[in-house]
A and B are shown apart, each in its own frame.
Chain A
Amino acid sequence: MTTARIAEKHPLDEIIRSDRMPHIWCPGCGIGIAMRCYAQAILDSGIPIDQQVVVSGIGCTGRVAGYMNIDSYHSTHGRAIPFAVGVKLANPNLSVTVFSGDGDLAAIGGNHLIHAARRNVDIKVICINNFNYGMTGGQAGPTTPKGARATTAPYGNPELPFNLPYLLAASGANYVSRWTTIHVRQIRDDILYTFQKPGFTFIEVLSPCPIGFGKSNNIEDGLEEMFLYKERCVLVHDGDVHAEELGIDLREDKNIYIGKFIEREQPPYQPVRVEMNT
């Protein structure tokens, strides 16, 4: 018989608020995996931890801000990006990450998402896409595939979803990539990369939501969704696939493209400065 052994210390203790554990996420949820990648990237980045700031909106992913042991702001629904814009512009020495969900960033906060990308403000956005509103119990959102079921789409979602990389590419983001929560090294490496990539960067992370999305769409559990990613994911590089082709429908036997889609070198937004005659 084996007995559970409780470790005295975890390598991420310094960067995660262990006094707030256990977290609220469901068994099989992918948000914790992505948060772990973010935490590891912060430790590996060499950027002083006290210069790292995380801003979240509302929702399951919005809780990330509360679990990171850095300066952290859990703002209102949809407003993480403009809050982060204020943080970044008022103190450019800070490394500012927005860690939030697809509903928060692309529905209620959609206007801020495209405008921050257009301005190319130097903030790092990590967007967990789990195809639904998880916190409130599995409602349809801006990324829910057409036809997928949700508690507010009991007959199947009548709407077309956003293709987020395509949206961000069109809006002017300097960097756009997509991974799934099976790609832990790639997520960490990509977050590390964006820390030193000037301008607006956007990493979409597809994440299982077995309780919210899975239950209504015949995905048994988080593991099944991870296997589904493993089978369907096709790695592409910048330019391989037109951004228009990057849409996802989990229920169809179609490729899910992952990788680095957009890499631009546009200078980031700088507030106007005027030198006065002295």
Chain B
Amino acid sequence: MDDRTVLTGNHFMNGDHACAEGAIAVGCRFFGGYPITPSTEIAERLARRLPEVDGVFIQMEDELGSMAAILGASADGARAMTATSGPGLSLMMENIGLAVMMEIPCVVVDVQRGSPSTGLPTMPGQSDVMQARWGSHGDYAIVAYAPSSPQEMFDLTILAFNIADRYRVPVLLLADEVVGHMVERVVIPPREEIEYWKRKTPEDAGDAAVSPFMAADADLIPPMIHAGEGYRVHFTGLTHNEQGYPEMSAETHHKLVNRLINKIKINQNKIIRTEGLYLEDAEIVVVSYGCTARSARHAVRDARNRGIPVGLLRLVSLWPFPTMLFQELAGRVDKFIVAEMNLGQMSLEVERCVKRPVNGVFHAGGAMISPFPIMDAILEVAE
């Protein structure tokens, strides 16, 4: 039989389509979304592809509904996703908080465009990275990856689903218009090479029938109970005890919120992904991510050819932030340059960790940052 779930082979496709194929390959069977440039091709691809694999595609009335619908589907055990861009992400924020509180896994793709507000719908941006981390109210932790190519749109979508399910957390794929619309070679591996990490079930741990939100294991992740499994479970966005029942107490609240954050913190080494180039002997490190990392790589290579001891640290994951890696680098690297298509967001995190001012190559968005301003920054700090 023709396997329509994993389109194994070499493809020439754009990043949005690669994301959709990654989702289907890793078992996403529910998409609820609302069209928005430059993410729409993800919805269009899934509208065509999900019906082929017994999946559900529904175009919701807005992004609030989209986010709520994927949580409902995931509450049944379905792998569920939505895709949007900045204005839509703003509308999804409340229910991203609900996903955190209910610990319902989900994947939210944000193909970033020039912002704020309606901004530059058809042009790239990277200015949602702080909103992705902090946009919903309250203290919490999420996971975010930033693909740099259509291939990574495929690969990181797969990782996003696996991380979401393993840690019961919303995972954001912070793409941008460039990687979303860029057409490149995408290699889809054979089905058996696609990793699939299943959710922890009640059979895996503890007495879930009594305490469905008790994290008995060292990873702080309670098993996931789905609708229809017979546990008669209660999920609420209210502060709740281990039974899942609302409990309006400062003590319960403190304990719950700390666990929601700590379950990401203690597992961060399994979640964080970075890529280094010439870092071993680098005295200057350029930090970048997403489409901007492509220009940064170009500039770093050119600078190396000129004999400048510069390296590249590409953030494949943005959240949780690789604090310890930066603290380690800070001990042996002199200067840090952060290149990003916003006016200095992740650079704040870098400064926090390396404890010195960093040089920024910033742009408000609308066009990819070329290698030249990054090279200029390298030359400036190398003097």
Contact = CB atoms under 8 A, between A and B. Distances in A.
Interface of A: 17, 19-20, 49-51, 53, 55, 65-66, 69-76, 78-79, 81-91, 93-94, 111-112, 115, 271-274, 276-278
B237 A274 contact: no
A86 B81 CA distance: 11
A50 B30 contact: no
Contact of A278 (B1, B68, B102): B1
A72 B32 CA distance: 21
Contacts of A66: 234, 236, 245-246
Contacts of B229: 50, 71
Interface residues of B, number: 50
Contacts of B94: 76, 79
19 contacts: A17-B234, A19-B245, A55-B72, A65-B236, A71-B227, A71-B229, A74-B234, A74-B238, A75-B68, A85-B32, A85-B69, A86-B69, A89-B73, A90-B78, A112-B61, A112-B65, A271-B51, A271-B56, A272-B51
Contacts of A111: 61-62, 64-65
A86 B238 CA distance: 21
A74 B235 contact: yes
Contacts of A72: 232-235
Contacts of B69: 82-83, 85-86, 89
Contacts of A272: 51, 57
Given A271-B56, A271-B58, A273-B51, A71 B231 contact: yes
A49 B227 CA distance: 11
Interface string B30-43: 10100000000000
A90 B73 contact: yes
Nearest to B66: A82
A78 B65 CA distance: 9
A264 B52 CA distance: 31
B230 interface: yes
Nearest to B235: A73
Interface of B: 1-2, 4, 29-30, 32, 51-52, 54-58, 60-62, 64-78, 80, 94-95, 98, 102, 227-238, 245-246
Nearest to A111: B61
Given A66-B236, A273-B51, A76 B68 contact: yes
Given A86-B71, A86-B73, A91-B228, 18 more contacts: A53-B227, A73-B102, A74-B234, A74-B246, A75-B71, A75-B98, A79-B68, A81-B65, A83-B71, A87-B227, A89-B73, A90-B30, A90-B77, A91-B77, A91-B78, A111-B64, A112-B64, A278-B2
A75 B54 CA distance: 27
A270 to B, nearest CB: 10
A90 B57 contact: no
A51 B68 CA distance: 20
A87 B75 contact: yes
Contacts of A276: 2, 4, 52
B58 A73 contact: no
A87 B55 CA distance: 14
B202 to A, nearest CB: 13
Contacts of B236: 65-66, 73-74
A202 B124 CA distance: 44
A84 B70 CA distance: 10
Given A71-B233, A86-B69, A94-B227, A274 B76 contact: no
A76 to B, nearest CB: 5
A69 B56 CA distance: 28
Given A76-B95, A82-B65, A274 B235 contact: no
Given A82-B60, A86-B72, A272-B51, A74 B232 contact: no
